[in-house]
Amino acid sequence: MEPYRVRVIYGDTDQMGVVYYANYLRFFEGARGHFIRGLGLSYGEVERRGILLPVLEASVQYVKSAKYDDVLEIHLSETHTRVKIRFDYKVHRQQDEAVITLGHTVHVCVGPELKPTRAPDWLLSKLEGYRNG
C-alpha cells in the first residue's frame, strides 16, 4: 500500500516554525483512514456495521522537526488480536528521507454500547488479507 502523504501547511506549525507536536496524531489519523480505505472499507462503513475503534493508547517519538511545506510520508503497519488493533507509524520527510517521527496507536473494538467486543470476522479477514499480501 502506498504511504499516506501530507504537505505541512502554516496551520500545522507552532511559533517556532515547526510542526506542532499534537498534529502528528492528526497525521496518524489520516494514515489510518488511508489504510482502512486501502482495505476497501471506510471508517464510516465500519461504524455503520456496529464497530467503533476508539484510541486506547497513543505514543509519539519525535526524532527531527518538520517545517512548513515539507511533504511527509507516513508508513503504517498493523497487528491485531480479536479485540485490539495496533498501528505503528514511521513518518519521514519525502524530500530527503529523514525520519521525523515514530509512533503507535492501539485501538479497542467496541460495539454501539461502547463495551469491548471481539472484532467481527469480516474485519479480521480484511486485516489478514492485507497482511498476507
Residues with a known catalytic role:
14
Q: Calculate the CA 105 to chain-centre distance.
A: 7
The span from the first CA to the last CA of the chain, in angstroms, equals 10
- Residue 56, CA distances (Å) to 59, 105, 109 in order: 11, 7, 10
SS3 for 27-57 is HHHHHHHHHHHHCCCCHHHHHHCCCECCEEE
